[in-house]
């Protein structure tokens, strides 16, 4: 069974009191589902550096990594995914879509209105319970 380590950014805008969610490209695995943006950790890269790189690539903006939220492993039928999520803020730029189908800023109490990728659900629940 293939295993991948990935990182996700829970980008929070304190002025709007909202979180950024992105919809996976419909052409990709888990397409059409919502997730926190991020991607694979490359060999020799730590999780925070991977997250900063991935957000620059995917959203054309710079983030500040604030704190670790959830480190969870999820078993999909074809793949085991370890997803490490961090609370982040935008340091520079405005998010622009490069890889995702859509993005939205959403209030905490509205998170369950989106259909999330299963691996992201522990982070959604953490936000609702603790942030």
| CATH number reported for the structural domain that contains residue 9 in this entry | 3.90.79.10
- Which residues lie closer than 8 Å to 128 by C-beta, 6 or more apart? 108, 109, 111, 112
Is the pTM higher than 0.85? The answer reads yes
Query: pLDDT by residue (tens digit) across 15-29?
Result: 999 999 999 998 888
Query: pLDDT by residue (tens digit) across 73-90?
Result: 999 988 999 999 999 999
Q: Which domain holds residue 87?
A: 3-130
pLDDT score recorded for residue 27: 85
Domains in the chain: how many in total? 1
Tens-digit pLDDT string for the chain (131 aa)? 899 999 999 999 999 999 999 999 988 888 899 999 999 999 999 999 999 999 999 999 999 999 999 999 999 988 999 999 999 999 999 999 999 999 999 999 999 999 999 999 999 999 999 99
* Rounded-to-integer distance, Cα 35 and Cα 30, Å: 10
Range 35-62 burial, b when 16+ CB lie within 10 A, else e: bbbbbebeeebebbebbbbbbeebbebe
């Amino acid at each position: 069974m293939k295993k991948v380590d990935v990182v996700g950014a829970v980008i929070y805008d304190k002025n709007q009191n909202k979180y950024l969610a992105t919809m996976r490209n419909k052409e990709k695995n888990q397409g059409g589902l919502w997730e926190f943006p991020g991607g694979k950790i490359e060999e020799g890269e730590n999780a925070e550096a991977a997250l900063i790189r991935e957000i620059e690539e995917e959203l054309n903006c710079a983030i500040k990594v604030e704190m670790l939220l959830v480190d969870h492993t999820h078993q999909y039928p074809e793949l085991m995914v370890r997803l490490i999520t961090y609370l982040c803020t935008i340091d520079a730029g405005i998010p622009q879509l490069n890889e995702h189908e859509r993005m939205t800023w959403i209030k905490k109490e509205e998170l369950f209105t989106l259909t999330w990728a299963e691996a992201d659900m522990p982070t959604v629940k953490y936000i609702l319970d603790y942030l």
